[in-house]
Chains A and B, each alone.
Chain A
Amino acid sequence: MAAPGDMTGGRPDAAAPAAIELRGISKAFGPVQANRDISLIVPKGTIHGIIGENGAGKSTLMSILYGFYKPDEGEILVNGQPITITDSQTAIRAGIGMVFQHFKLVQNFTVLENIILGVEDGALLRPSLSKARGVLKRLAAEYQLNVDPDEVIENLSVGHQQRVEILKALYRQADILILDEPTGVLTPAEADHLFRILEGLRDEGKTIILITHKLREIMEITDNVSVMRRGEMVASVRTAETSPEELAELMVGRKVLLNVSKAPARPAAPVLEVRDLTMVDADGVERLRRVSFDIRAGEILGIAGVSGNGQTQLLEILGGYPEKGARVSGEVRMNGAAMPLSGRGCDARQRRREGIGHIPEDRQVEGLIMDFAAWENVAFGWHDAPEFSKGALMDNDAIRRDAQAKMERFDVRPRDCHLAARNFSGGNQQKIVVAREIERNPDLLLIGQPTRGVDIGAIEFIHKRIVELRDAGKAILLVSVELDEILSLSDRVAVMFDGRIMGERLPGQTTTGELGLLMAGITDTENTPDSAGIPPGVTQDALPEGSA
């Protein structure tokens, strides 16, 4: 393993000055040292991965490079020239372009209007627009970045919107592109396409910095990779000379289990029975089409699929809050009793009383009130529980004691229940939600994206707790867009596409390739998709030993 800073790059022209060189960059926010003495060399014409857990300082480092923050110490060299980057304009002039995780596009402008936004020459738009149209045509041909220049942004898919962001950077003559978690919002196919585009850009001599916490992407596409941990650059290596295990270990500073070890499931009676669940939203779009499945006590049913294929609606309906104006039909039974799907009785509070826990897909928007203290969040959704009440008032002392104990057991850091939820890192925020829902010991736990934006150490911890709950004889519905997660946690996998269950597979007896086809809506059988599910009772003896 090479020490930080002495890496020379995986491409032949290593003798040329590096596209970017950082020397001893440090940056502190108050008492928090976000970056400490960081040195980095990114050779020209390479794809350079920067990997690290949430809060490792990746984004701070890139924000320094893009002029959002001023480093406290250290220097930046672009193409061998020392440069002081005071704002994003300086960065753009130096040829640095940035594609943010959350796009900065004007939704009701066309592609072309977005691209010239901020670089319109003169008072009249028409000349800039026609110039941009020409440039766009050339770029599109050169890098397979096809988008209709006259389409309005809000009509574009997420993948296409990202292309517009890349085009924006290229239009501003960026030679160095920084992409922050670019695949977080993409389908696997879109991510593949993005990677082809990035390779094309590299082959044209552009330099690309890819910030991610997904090991697979690093291995697949980068030439070199640098690992950050707690504000420091702990290693820079050629990707070809390392392995995912080694990188994961560098990121967290200890060995992690990428696969969950678990005993075979011992499913008992069905807890949740869903039959022909159909949902039409307020706009008349059918979001769920005759969805049927069972979950038994003591098993994890994983729902795989590209996000936006009905998983959110499924979780919301089961959680007791179908979106406004939706029409829901079909039958859902919980422990044998019919569950009301609309009107009175269809309410999240009622569902909790019936023994349903819910870890929602978006912890920041739903699962937590970000401005509430951690202890208040531990009572969220359970605030009318008898043990949290003192007559008409809430027993805040009891809630705080409960919160402190849960934070202890789930190793939430810092262990301060008075801190507002927004002051915790993503992984620790998620642990608060997981602790709250799991410790209620629900008969059925609904889980949406349990580890989205969560660092590896916390992922391992959360996975273990989910398996423990299963082993305690509870039913678990796991929705995730991470195939690896679905495959390693689930006892059965159902694939959703376009509101349908395309089929059910056993993790030990399927491949990502097969699941990928199902996720894309392709079935190899001539059967109707609705009947493709394997009845849950049939496969009992064929349950997998451990994980795939």
Chain B
Amino acid sequence: MDKMPKWADVILTPLISLILAMGISALVILAIGESPWTALTTMVDGALGSSYGWGFTLYYATNFIFTGLAVMVAYHAALFNIGGEGQAAMGGLGVALVLLYLPLPHWALALPVAMLGAAAFGAAWAFIPAWLQAKRGSHIVITTIMFNFIAAAVLSYVLVNLLRPVGSMDPASARFPAETALPRLSELAAWVGIAWGRNTPVNITFLVAVLACVLVWVLIWRTRLGYEIRALGKSERGAVYAGINPVRITIVAMLISGGLAGMMAINNVMGESGRLVLNAVEGAGFIGIAVALMGRNHPFGIFLAALLFGFLYQGGGELALWTSIPRELIVVIQALVILFTGALDNMVRMPLERLFLALRRSGGQAR
């Protein structure tokens, strides 16, 4: 029997965690002599108060949806992929190579090809840890985090020594051809006659991300592969009994996971900057872990959690811009949200479960 109703599990628990995190953040802001109320209104106003703010919030959210889905798929196979950062970075390399070296006359053609490039590079980067885990038992947490560092090193080498245009002092690739630039959501809105989100980086990739949420849901809960991934994640011996090959499923799940992380590059590399720069991922790979945790490893939850973290990113930036709250404190606030919604989940969940059990018991006696 479930201990509490589903809505309490998926909505109430994260909400209370969030409120607790906000409460402590307010105390911290008070402690440095600033007004928590001003901070909150600045954040809400900056991130959600205008179509400009929304544009940035959705842009960040798009990144987090991809990395969150990546963590989720691996999680269902009981694999903790914390290599999203490196996989997304390599995805960026895939995008850059495709766009720089293949003649692609229009963005509508460039998008699917670049997606393939991004997914292939991300998946390839996840393959080695996956193979080591499946065949050699090397723990995937250790190998994926090491591969983050290797990816960063590979990327600086490639950018400095191979992709940097002659004469440039910037460790970045050349600009991608203009005809491959992805339409921004503001342009799409303009086509239908709405002035929305001008000068914001959110682009068509956001819609791809939403589609990815749906497809991942179908994959995990409607396909045989998803069934096998979940079965392996719950019990390896059970999976073996049922004729599910753990080596194969481990590798396939990680390939999908790495591919999703890599596809983030469509948003930041192809959609936003139009060239490959150093450290383009900016920690989104790690935020994906928190997003997946808070989203209960469900695509819809991940979508909501990604919006929240997009808000925190954009709102945090505004906070640094308009108040004297230092940038570091914004990281503290984000960390508090991760701490409460991810790590301290049971702190809220268990009292809630007891509460619901008690409610049900008294309800049962009254009847």
Question: B223: which of A321, A347, A380, A393 is its contact (CB, 8 Å)?
Answer: A393
Q: Which residue of A lies closest to B367 (CB)?
A: A31
Given contacts A31-B361, A383-B228, contact A350 B243 (CB under 8 A): yes
Give the distance in Å from the alpha carbon of A513 to the alpha carbon of B222 in the complex: 54
Question: A366: which of B224, B237, B245, B364 is its contact (CB, 8 Å)?
Answer: B237
The digit string for B194-219, where 1 denotes a CB below 8 A from any CB of A, is 00000000000000000000000010
Do A347 and B243 have beta carbons less than 8 Å apart? Answer: yes
Q: Which residue of B lies closest to A348 (CB)?
A: B243
The answer, yes or no, to whether B242 is at the interface (CB within 8 Å) is yes
The answer, yes or no, to whether B238 is at the interface (CB within 8 Å) is yes
Given contacts A368-B238, A393-B218, contact A381 B361 (CB under 8 A): no
Question: A365: which of B237, B242, B357, B361 is its contact (CB, 8 Å)?
Answer: B237
Do B241 and A358 have beta carbons less than 8 Å apart? Answer: yes
Question: A372: which of B222, B223, B231, B357 is its contact (CB, 8 Å)?
Answer: B231
Give the distance in Å from the alpha carbon of A371 to the alpha carbon of B231 in the complex: 9
Do A367 and B234 have beta carbons less than 8 Å apart? Answer: no
CB distance from A318 to the nearest CB of B (A): 12
- Number of B interface residues at 8 Å Cβ cutoff, please give it: 23
Do B361 and A30 have beta carbons less than 8 Å apart? Answer: yes
Do A369 and B235 have beta carbons less than 8 Å apart? Answer: yes
Chain B residues whose C-beta falls within 8 Å of the C-beta of A349 in the assembled complex: 242-244
The answer, yes or no, to whether B139 is at the interface (CB within 8 Å) is no
The digit string for B121-159, where 1 denotes a CB below 8 A from any CB of A, is 000000000000000000000000000000000000000
Do B360 and A30 have beta carbons less than 8 Å apart? Answer: yes
CB distance from B331 to the nearest CB of A (A): 36
Do B240 and A380 have beta carbons less than 8 Å apart? Answer: no
Chain A residues whose C-beta falls within 8 Å of the C-beta of B230 in the assembled complex: 369, 372
Chain A residues whose C-beta falls within 8 Å of the C-beta of B238 in the assembled complex: 365-369, 380
CB distance from A381 to the nearest CB of B (A): 4
Do A366 and B243 have beta carbons less than 8 Å apart? Answer: no
Give the distance in Å from the alpha carbon of A28 to the alpha carbon of B245 in the complex: 43
The answer, yes or no, to whether B300 is at the interface (CB within 8 Å) is no
**A313-330 with Cβ < 8 A to chain B:** 319-321
The answer, yes or no, to whether A142 is at the interface (CB within 8 Å) is no
Do B234 and A372 have beta carbons less than 8 Å apart? Answer: yes
The answer, yes or no, to whether A360 is at the interface (CB within 8 Å) is yes
Chain B residues whose C-beta falls within 8 Å of the C-beta of A351 in the assembled complex: 243
The answer, yes or no, to whether B227 is at the interface (CB within 8 Å) is yes
The answer, yes or no, to whether A392 is at the interface (CB within 8 Å) is yes
Do B224 and A383 have beta carbons less than 8 Å apart? Answer: yes
Do B240 and A31 have beta carbons less than 8 Å apart? Answer: no
Do B241 and A366 have beta carbons less than 8 Å apart? Answer: yes
Chain B residues whose C-beta falls within 8 Å of the C-beta of A389 in the assembled complex: 224
Which of B218, B224, B235, B238 has the most chain A CB atoms inside 10 A of its CB?
B238
Question: B243: which of A30, A381, A394 is its contact (CB, 8 Å)?
Answer: A381
The answer, yes or no, to whether B109 is at the interface (CB within 8 Å) is no
Chain B residues whose C-beta falls within 8 Å of the C-beta of A30 in the assembled complex: 1, 357, 360-361, 364
Give the distance in Å from the alpha carbon of A376 to the alpha carbon of B220 in the complex: 13
Give the distance in Å from the alpha carbon of A32 to the alpha carbon of B364 in the complex: 10
Do B245 and A381 have beta carbons less than 8 Å apart? Answer: no
Do B224 and A394 have beta carbons less than 8 Å apart? Answer: yes
Chain A residues whose C-beta falls within 8 Å of the C-beta of B231 in the assembled complex: 369, 372, 380
The answer, yes or no, to whether A520 is at the interface (CB within 8 Å) is no
The digit string for A351-381, where 1 denotes a CB below 8 A from any CB of B, is 1100000101000011111111000100111
Do A394 and B222 have beta carbons less than 8 Å apart? Answer: yes
The answer, yes or no, to whether A423 is at the interface (CB within 8 Å) is yes
Do A394 and B227 have beta carbons less than 8 Å apart? Answer: yes
The digit string for A369-406, where 1 denotes a CB below 8 A from any CB of B, is 11110001001110110000100111010000000000
Question: A393: which of B1, B222, B235, B364 is its contact (CB, 8 Å)?
Answer: B222
Give the distance in Å from the alpha carbon of A351 to the alpha carbon of B243 in the complex: 9
Give the distance in Å from the alpha carbon of A396 to the alpha carbon of B221 in the complex: 9
Q: Which residue of A lies closest to B235 (CB)?
A: A369
Chain B residues whose C-beta falls within 8 Å of the C-beta of A423 in the assembled complex: 1
Do A347 and B245 have beta carbons less than 8 Å apart? Answer: yes
Chain A residues whose C-beta falls within 8 Å of the C-beta of B361 in the assembled complex: 28, 30-31
Given contacts A369-B231, A372-B234, A394-B223, contact A380 B360 (CB under 8 A): no
Do B243 and A369 have beta carbons less than 8 Å apart? Answer: no
Do B241 and A367 have beta carbons less than 8 Å apart? Answer: yes
Q: Which residue of A lies closest to B361 (CB)?
A: A30
Chain A residues whose C-beta falls within 8 Å of the C-beta of B360 in the assembled complex: 30-31
Do A380 and B235 have beta carbons less than 8 Å apart? Answer: no
Do A381 and B242 have beta carbons less than 8 Å apart? Answer: yes
Which of A320, A348, A350 has the most chain B CB atoms inside 10 A of its CB?
A348
Do B241 and A319 have beta carbons less than 8 Å apart? Answer: yes
**B267-281 with Cβ < 8 A to chain A:** none
Chain B residues whose C-beta falls within 8 Å of the C-beta of A369 in the assembled complex: 230-231, 234-235, 238
CB distance from A351 to the nearest CB of B (A): 8
Do A321 and B241 have beta carbons less than 8 Å apart? Answer: yes
Which of A376, A380, A389 has the most chain B CB atoms inside 10 A of its CB?
A380
State the 8 A-B residue pairs at the shortest beta-carbon distance, nearest first: A349-B243, A348-B243, A381-B242, A366-B241, A369-B234, A393-B222, A321-B240, A31-B364
| Chain B residues within CB distance 8 Å of chain A | 1, 218, 222-224, 227-228, 230-231, 234-235, 237-238, 240-245, 357, 360-361, 364
A–B pairs, 18, beta carbons within 8 Å: A30-B360, A320-B243, A347-B243, A348-B240, A348-B242, A360-B241, A367-B238, A368-B238, A369-B230, A369-B234, A370-B234, A376-B227, A379-B227, A380-B231, A381-B241, A381-B243, A384-B224, A394-B222
Beyond known contacts A389-B224, A396-B222: 17 more, CB 8 A cutoff? A30-B364, A321-B243, A347-B245, A348-B240, A348-B243, A352-B243, A358-B241, A360-B241, A366-B240, A369-B231, A369-B234, A369-B238, A371-B234, A376-B227, A381-B242, A383-B227, A393-B222
